[in-house]
Amino acid sequence: MSEEQNEQKKSNQFTIMKDDPIDGHPGYSGGGAFSLENMSPLIVDPNEDHVWVDMGAMHARSEVEKRIKFVADKEEVPNGKPYWIVWVTVEQKEEGPYYHGVAACYLEVDREARRGYKILAEHVNRMDKSLKGRIILEHMDDHSKALLRDFLKDFNEQYWDLASDELKQVLA
């Protein structure tokens, strides 16, 4: 690859937009631009009883996903270890910031085989649902829900206290 092609490839990388770059520009409607600055991806590892923030997940490059070839057929990953990527959106209301949208996606990873199972469309759709304030956690196992609940409470008690009753009930 030539130096010029390499530079062009680097300049075409995805960028999260903090502010509206076309704000006030008469030639653009602003459609299709949205902010991800209030969203954080959490990784829930039920086998290790561990939850952490991994911003790499925003680009499918979390520690769990790195160096893994993902397939859409679960049968191709017979020794997969389960994980959840949970998209958490924080918004502001009069009383203060709170957990607005929380949506989980399942994946399995077999580190040894360097193979994993996930449905990419589900991850994109759940990110969108989280941004829109939806709570989609019903499909998580009880142990993973408890880990998530404890992490969210410990991370910021005010966010938890101001969160919707729906979130608290789903994670009860």
Q: What is the mean pLDDT of residues 4-23?
A: 43
Q: What is the mean pLDDT of residues 15-28?
A: 42
Please enumerate in sequence order all residues whose Cβ is within 8 A of that of 101, keeping only pairs 6 or more positions apart, or say none: 87, 88, 89, 91, 129, 130, 131, 132, 133, 134, 135
Average of per-residue pLDDT values in the chain: 84
- Within 10 angstroms of residue 109's Cβ, the number of other Cβ atoms is 23
Q: What is the DSSP letter of 95?
A: T
Structure tokens at 25: 């520009």
From CA 74, how far away is CA 116, in angstroms rounded? 8
Q: What is the mean pLDDT of residues 167-172?
A: 95
What string of DSSP letters covers 126-154?
HHHHHHTT-EE-TTS-HHHHHHHHHHHHH
pLDDT digits (tens, 9 = 90+) for 99-153: 999 999 999 999 999 999 999 999 999 999 999 999 999 999 999 999 999 999 9
Indicate whether 81 pLDDT > 80.
yes
- Within 10 angstroms of residue 59's Cβ, the number of other Cβ atoms is 12
CB 121 within 8 A of CB 79: no
Tell me the pTM: 0.79
User: What pLDDT does 53 receive?
Assistant: 93
Indicate whether 38 pLDDT > 60.
yes
Indicate whether 9 pLDDT > 80.
no
From CA 6, how far away is CA 146, in angstroms rounded? 46
Which amino acid, residue 119?
A: I
From CA 70, how far away is CA 111, in angstroms rounded? 11
Structure tokens at 4: 């010029």
Which amino acid, residue 137?
A: L
User: Which position has the higher pLDDT, 31 or 127?
Assistant: 127
Alpha-helical runs (H) found in the chain: 3-11, 120-131, 142-155, 157-162, 165-170
Indicate whether 37 pLDDT > 60.
yes
Q: What is the mean pLDDT of residues 148-164?
A: 95
Structure tokens at 17: 């937009």
